[in-house]
Amino acid sequence: MPLPGLMAWPVLTKDSRQRYEPLEKANILRYCMKLFTFSSGNLSGDQMADLLRTNLRRIEKLARKEPPPFVASISRSGLNLRKLR
């Protein structure tokens, strides 16, 4: 998990619960992760692709401008940023 943080790479995951799990949250904070999650873990591959297609520019912009660590959920209505502490 340290490599994406060290390289400042955004991470895309289907697991939206990571920010609540103590060990996962600690690693996000420790490695200064830029985490993008889908708002629902029950989306099909096609639905996730549609959300990515719709939000890709917003994801790129947020990943460039917002300092880590953060978790942003991807949904039909856009991105919802949550700074972690």
pLDDT confidence of residue 31: 92
Q: How far is CA 29 from the centre of its chain?
A: 13
Confidence band (pLDDT; 50, 70, 90) for 1?
low
Q: Which of 17, 55, 14 is nearest to 37 (CA)?
A: 14
pLDDT digits (tens, 9 = 90+) for 6-27: 788 899 988 877 878 888 899 9
Confidence band (pLDDT; 50, 70, 90) for 57?
very high
Average pLDDT over the chain, rounded to an integer = 89
Read off the pTM: 0.87
Reported as type and span, the H/E element at residue 67 is: none
Q: CA angle, corner 63, sides to 35 and 1, nearest 5?
A: 35
